[in-house]
Every structure is written in structure tokens, then in C-alpha cells.
Amino acid sequence: MAEQQTPTLSKVVGVLGGMGPAATVDFYAKLVRHTPAQRDQDHLRVVIWADPTVPSRQQALLAGGTDPTPWLEEGVRHLMGAGAEIVVVPCNTIHAYLGPVLADQPVEFLSIIDTTVRAIQRRDARRVGLLATDGALASGVFQAALDAAGIEWLLPMPSQQEALMGVVDAVKAGRSEQRLHAQVQEMRSDLRERGAATTIAGCTEVSALLGDLSAGDDVDVIDPALELALRTIERATRS
């Protein structure tokens, strides 16, 4: 009879999700898929708090809508209560609110913005296209991080930005038809023609739509959800 192996316990990963549900599912799938595991016991220990009732980040940032901070604080309390040692949030736009929420928490926070910028630096890209929601762009979370790293950025033309928001809304509504893929590809092509070495899929609904683009498989796109998953695996398994 084969001797049972004692599992090496990972740090407990807390996923603050629900923004939106499909993006949370996509992130966890990438986390599982890219963990170097041969059996169940090799995977990460993960706690997910997925609360889709968090008020619209777009409305909060663009139109003075309800501040989502109290919902985020509640979610972090649930994750901490479940033993989370690392907190990740697979939503780009909400990072505009996360600093104060996590500032005094005894937990390691992995930023999807920071991990994305590091991925760009590894590729040595000097100019990137940025596909992000209106709210994320208004908050400046990506632009500030890119500027600090000395990376130029390009945005879609206004008509394409409007189309991008339509794609995001469609994915939130559970749609993923080929037409939506084609629209995103057209945006990426335009940014590439304007000089972008690569494009950031800077909304996790776009990440979910594109699926699992393994690191390095597509030099023309950076998937923040995938980069965050890879960074989470690295930190959670480090002794």
C-alpha cells in the first residue's frame, strides 16, 4: 500500500469577489489551472467571499453613486474571520477603493494593478494599450501605476470605449458570443496599429471573455486576472 504523502499547506488565500460573478469564477479557474498540482492536496487553500450586491463601481466613480467601501469592509471581515493570510480582488476598477480598506489589516494584499505593471516590465514593453472601464479610467488607478513605471499608455478611441462598456455589460449579463470577442479583437488591433506593443485587458469581464491566455501565449495581450493568479500561487506557496 502506497504511503500517504503529507500535504504542504499553502497560505490561505482570500478572494474578495462577486464584482462580477463571472470574473470571480474565471479567476478561480485560472488559479486552479496554473497551480502545479498532481492531486487535490497540492492545490491552494482558498476562501471566496463573492458578494454581487456591492454597489456599481461605475456609478460610484462617475456619477456620485453609493460608495462601495462598507461592502468591501464587510467582505474583508468575512475573509479574515475565515483565516485569510493573503487577499486578492479580481476586479480592476474596485482597486480605486481598496487602499484604505486594507491599509491596517494584518494580511498580505496582492494588487491586480501592480502585478499587471510587473508583467509589462518583464516584457519590456514601452507603450501599451489599455482596455478598462470608464470608472477605472476616471479613477486613474492604471494610468498612475503605468506613469510611475515609465510606461506610455494609449486608450481606445471614444466609439470603441463605448463599445467596450457594452462588452463588459454583456459579459455581466452572462453572454459570451463571438461578436463580443470580435469587438475586443478589433480594439486590440487598433491599439496595436497606433503603436501599442501589447494591450492590457484591464477589466476582469474582458479577462473572462478572452478565457485562459497562458502567460506568453499571446504577446499582444496581458490578462491581469491571469497575472494575479500566477502571483497568488507564487506567494501562497512560498515557505
Per-residue pLDDT tens over the stretch 77-111? 999 999 999 999 999 999 999 999 999 899 999 99
**Residue 62 reports pLDDT greater than 90:** yes
Share of the chain above pLDDT 90, in %: 87
CATH code at 12-111+229-237: 3.40.50.1860
Cα-based torsion angle of the residue sequence 15, 97, 209, 48 in order, rounded to the nearest 10 degrees: 10
- Residue 116 and residue 201: Cα distance in Å, rounded? 10
Give the model's pLDDT for residue 212: 58
Give the model's pLDDT for residue 213: 52
Query: Using alpha carbons only, what angle is made at residue 101 by residues 200 and 49, rounded to the nearest 5 degrees?
Result: 75
Q: What's the mean per-residue pLDDT of the chain?
A: 93
How many Cβ atoms from other residues are within 10 Å of residue 114's Cβ? 16
Give the model's pLDDT for residue 219: 53
Segment 132-157 shows an average pLDDT of 97
The Cα-based distances of 144 to 35, 155, 223 in angstroms read 31, 14, 18
Give the model's pLDDT for residue 215: 42
| Whole-prediction pTM | 0.93
Give the model's pLDDT for residue 140: 97
**Residue 1 reports pLDDT greater than 70:** no
The angle, 0 to 180 degrees and rounded to 10, between the axes of the packed helices 178-193 and 158-172 is: 150
- Residue 224 and residue 27: Cα distance in Å, rounded? 10
Q: Which residue out of 31, 84, 86, 91 is catalytically annotated?
A: 91
The angle, 0 to 180 degrees and rounded to 10, between the axes of the packed helices 224-237 and 112-123 is: 100
**Residue 3 reports pLDDT greater than 90:** no
pLDDT band at residue 217 under the 50/70/90 scheme: very low
Domain 113-224 is in which class? Answer: alpha beta
Segment 16-41 shows an average pLDDT of 95
Q: Give the SS3 label for residue 124.
A: coil
Segment 159-182 shows an average pLDDT of 94
Segment 197-204 shows an average pLDDT of 94
**Residue 28 reports pLDDT greater than 90:** yes
Dmax over Cα atoms in the chain, in whole Å?
65
Residue 203 is a catalytic residue: yes
First-residue to last-residue Cα distance in the chain: 30
Do 113-224 and 12-111+229-237 have the same topology in CATH? yes
pLDDT band at residue 4 under the 50/70/90 scheme: low
Q: Which residue out of 203, 208, 210, 229 is catalytically annotated?
A: 203
Query: Grid coordinates 454581487 are at which residue?
Result: 52
**Residue 214 reports pLDDT greater than 90:** no
Q: Which three cell numbers stand for residue 50?
A: 463573492
The answer to whether the CB of 94 falls within 8 A of the CB of 132 is no
Give the model's pLDDT for residue 152: 98
Q: Where are the domains of the chain?
A: 12-111+229-237, 113-224
Query: Grid coordinates 479577462 are at which residue?
Result: 207
The Cα-based distances of 114 to 4, 30, 134, 156 in angstroms read 39, 18, 20, 22
Query: Using alpha carbons only, what angle is made at residue 191 by residues 123 and 212, rounded to the nearest 5 degrees?
Result: 55
